[in-house]
Amino acid sequence: MSSSTSRRARALKSHLRRLPAELVAVEGPLRWAVALVLAGAVAFCGRVVYLDIAARASPLVDATWPAFGRVVGVWFALNVALCLLLGVVDAAVPGADRHADRFAAYPLFSWLTPGSQQLLFFAPAAAYLVAAWAHQVSHGGACAARPAFEGALAAHAGPSLAGMQLRELLLFESDAAMTAHHVTTSLLSGLAWRALTREPDDCEWALATCGALAAMEAGSLGCVAWAVLGGGTRWRTRFYVGSMTLSHALVLVAGFAGHVRKRPGNWEGWVVCGATLPLMYARHAYMVAEVKAGTASGTFVDDKKTD
């Protein structure tokens, strides 16, 4: 079987919807023309995010709904373009066999898409925002005196989760459980933002809220690394367990101590934190099952695609 036929077969048998699967499977000069367009889209969206954070003139979050929609839109476009680009070029990672059974439902590039963002943005953003929140709690001081980029960084760390979930809903045929997960995550991101719109001038509250959201997404890097590399080794297990455990610890501390405790009268915080608990339990249970099995399954439920 040729590499092109194999790539097309893998795309069509996966959970990709028909149109994205056909786009990923294009061949010849058209393939590289599509890749060039998608690479341009990724570069453009990435630059928008960078300039929005770097050029921000205030440490306060622009907690308005137009800002929420803009951030969601940019991250949605970035995610769609990046995922399709990695699919078109048939992105590979040393030690990861793209033909492995664990990539039948969700191809390798579908794991690399969130993994690259978790590694390059969410992990460092979570570390910085939670540390900045702790510093603000311990040292106090006027919010206006804080670094100017913090407001935009926090703004991108929250609504971006909704953009990532929308990419999954658009490109992949998910079962009821995964669809519910994507919709719930998007709604929780919106609820957390609604809470911020009530107190847009409280940088301490914003840092804790968006730091917790970023930490939740950053923890999934361990799951992605496990799935991509196939699990099995001591260091992969340690990284998976360590990243997930640290993620949940930061979510609990920043979410409950930083968000709910600060304003216990806001119902949005209770809903977001309360709904996050079963999500964390599900991630923990999945991690335990994967580690006990010793190898990565690449699936979350019965992901055999029906024709």
What is the per-residue pLDDT across 151-178, written as a single tens digit (0 to 9) for each? 899 999 989 999 999 999 999 998 887 8
Give pLDDT, residue 7. Answer: 83
Res 57 pLDDT > 50: yes
| Lowest mean per-residue pLDDT among 127-141, 220-234, 255-269 | 255-269
Question: What one-letter code names the amino acid at 303?
Answer: D
C-alpha 90/C-alpha 82 separation (Å) is 12
Side-chain-side CA neighbours of 64 within 13 Å: the count stands at: 4
Q: What is the mean pLDDT of residues 243-268?
A: 89
Q: Return the closest-CA partner of residue 103 out of 239, 6, 23, 36.
A: 6
What is the per-residue pLDDT across 4-47, written as a single tens digit (0 to 9) for each? 558 888 998 999 999 999 999 999 999 999 999 999 999 999 99
Q: Tell me the average pLDDT of the chain.
A: 90
Q: Is residue 10 within 8 Å of 98, Cβ to Cβ?
A: yes
Q: Is residue 172 within 8 Å of 110, Cβ to Cβ?
A: yes
- The rounded Cα 264 to chain-centroid distance in angstroms is 27
What is the per-residue pLDDT across 92-114, written as a single tens digit (0 to 9) for each? 999 899 999 999 999 999 999 99
